[in-house]
Structure 1
């Protein structure tokens, strides 16, 4: 096959079980992952997604593969893994999953009506919570707390000596200092990593699934919700409410929101400080994102953002049944 020959100039894929039955392979460029990705069809018209990356990432990809197997076995809707290993040359590691026919991203969610957005949010919260509950866990809470304290010190130093300044930074800093003690004893698991709207897919059968765990890391499961408070809600606030309503349904909402806000603040400040050479538009957008976040929390005086309060009541009233169903499926 011509396409396979082209790819084989870089990687020897003959060692991948079943590769002799492939009748189509084409590069797939969607998503933010650094992996090389390919869409594959075999002679039985089964479809797969093949990911290739440098062999130095072997152990990391092995954990990703094992974690996906664990999640699938426990009913979490993620891509089904079907193969993992090194190519024949030993230069690349591959991870292969079943292909999911569907649409992902912001535009697809925005095309949904309000009720469906909230329902999809509820099930996103469910699958995220399942993924966190069943994932491989092997680090102590103390390690995470110390890591985040060091992260905050690094942010403070970068801000102190950097040229970019953030309006009302002191208010943000005070909120972070108030909430840092809440990190003591936080559980750790494998996180999705960079969870965003691009990391969900609505299948042609109408099922919502979590995809692309390539940026996984160990940490507090609430860290995966930081983007809900900063970016996801700006695109689809009702979807964001659905996620939070499901994920936080087991109580201690105020405490958990404080922690999520802490992680969101870290992310936003780092976006400003870590890209000093970016174009002016990107810098201005990063600074604006921080200001919106501060305003949403009324100058960091409250834990529930304004948009959360405004949207939550209507969403919850319309979807009590879905919340009960999701709650019954939680581990």
Structure 2
């Protein structure tokens, strides 16, 4: 892509990513997103660009691949993607009726089902044991010095049920699928952005971000996403596996947030406490919010 045709470059500050992000506009008033990463991440970012190409063949609005390469005298990699025009879904949900929120979740659930439909290349399947990694990180949480009252229920649930995970075929994951990474389009459809956490793994793992970030925004949206994915026939195994991921992430995210400061740690502690309540200290595998709408 010829940068001589760019007429404006504006830095984006939102998000957790370590890479630098910019909105660029060309002489034809077309907008793109530019992502700059360290050259040490070249292989990782090249693979990410390839995954985005796979997703771009599907039938939904998303940040499509435009260009990828090396810049700044070999110090950085760049990725240019199409810009998805619209409003952050996380913000738009606050202006919708509960039925409209549910319908937005329904559209998102159908998109997620499409993402998971792509056949995974054998070369992309990681043989690393997810179970051992999760148990190790639970141990790190317990040693971190930051504990949540009643967290033993989550710890024990993970340890007792972690064998449930990875029982399904591997899928390509978006990796961070929640309203904060979705766009509300002018026709009320949903667009998808931010694929930088893409991965290969259990399809049901994608849903724990509902508990982490979406329930506090819109319960109808969360219900809609789940109902759409399963055509309103949610299997019991889904709830058992999801509860493992929710319990694990509710603890691990507290330790993860330390590097971002006390406010973020406090936010993750609040979410952990909410999860314990929603799952009745993991005596139930179906969160209470699911039946509240």
- Please show how residues 106-185 of structure 1 align to structure 2 within 5 Å: 106-134=90-118, 136-138=120-122, 143=127, 146-156=129-139, 158-159=141-142, 161-185=143-167
Per the TM alignment, residue 56 of structure 1 is displaced from its structure 2 partner at its CA by: 1.6
The answer to whether the Cα contact below 8 Å between 1:102 and 1:204 also exists between their aligned partners in 2 is yes
Per the TM alignment, residue 139 of structure 1 is displaced from its structure 2 partner at its CA by: 6.2
Per the TM alignment, residue 299 of structure 1 is displaced from its structure 2 partner at its CA by: 2.5
Q: Name which of 216, 226, 243 aligns with 1:261.
A: 243
Query: CA 1:32 to 1:103, structure 2 compared with 1: closer, same or farther past 3 Å?
Result: farther
The answer to whether the Cα contact below 8 Å between 1:142 and 1:184 also exists between their aligned partners in 2 is no
Per the TM alignment, residue 155 of structure 1 is displaced from its structure 2 partner at its CA by: 1.1
Per the TM alignment, residue 167 of structure 1 is displaced from its structure 2 partner at its CA by: 2.5
CA distance in 1, matches of 2:24, 2:137: 44
Aligned length: 293
Partner residue in 1 for 2:227: 245
Q: Name which of 279, 282, 285 aligns with 1:297.
A: 279
CA distance in 2, matches of 1:214, 1:184: 22
The answer to whether the Cα contact below 8 Å between 1:194 and 1:216 also exists between their aligned partners in 2 is yes
RMSD: 2.6
Residues 101-131 of structure 1 show CA distances to partners (whole Å, capped at 9, x for unaligned) of 2111522221122121111101111112211
Query: CA 1:29 to 1:180, structure 2 compared with 1: closer, same or farther past 3 Å?
Result: same
Q: Secondary structure at the match of 2:167?
A: coil
Segments of structure 2 that go 5 or more residues without pairing to the other structure are none
CA distance in 1, matches of 2:146, 2:92: 35
CA distance in 1, matches of 2:73, 2:49: 20
What's the TM-score once normalised by structure 1's chain length?
A: 0.79
Partner residue in 1 for 2:67: 83
Per the TM alignment, residue 227 of structure 1 is displaced from its structure 2 partner at its CA by: 1.3
Partner residue in 1 for 2:4: 20
Per the TM alignment, residue 250 of structure 1 is displaced from its structure 2 partner at its CA by: 7.8
Query: CA 1:284 to 1:36, structure 2 compared with 1: closer, same or farther past 3 Å?
Result: closer
Partner residue in 1 for 2:24: 40
Residues 206-229 of structure 1 show CA distances to partners (whole Å, capped at 9, x for unaligned) of 331111011223322222210112
Query: CA 1:189 to 1:163, structure 2 compared with 1: closer, same or farther past 3 Å?
Result: same
Residues 288-328 of structure 1 show CA distances to partners (whole Å, capped at 9, x for unaligned) of 322221221223111111111121xxxxxxxxxxxxxxxxx
Residues 264-311 of structure 1 show CA distances to partners (whole Å, capped at 9, x for unaligned) of 111111133445687666545433322221221223111111111121
The answer to whether the Cα contact below 8 Å between 2:154 and 2:248 also exists between their aligned partners in 1 is no
CA distance in 2, matches of 1:137, 1:307: 36
CA distance in 2, matches of 1:56, 1:84: 15
CA distance in 2, matches of 1:198, 1:99: 16
CA distance in 1, matches of 2:63, 2:112: 14
Per the TM alignment, residue 143 of structure 1 is displaced from its structure 2 partner at its CA by: 2.8
The answer to whether the Cα contact below 8 Å between 2:258 and 2:264 also exists between their aligned partners in 1 is no
CA distance in 2, matches of 1:278, 1:63: 27
Query: CA 1:56 to 1:270, structure 2 compared with 1: closer, same or farther past 3 Å?
Result: same
Q: Secondary structure at the match of 1:119?
A: helix
Q: Which has the larger radius of gyration?
A: 1
Query: CA 1:93 to 1:136, structure 2 compared with 1: closer, same or farther past 3 Å?
Result: farther
The answer to whether the Cα contact below 8 Å between 2:58 and 2:115 also exists between their aligned partners in 1 is no
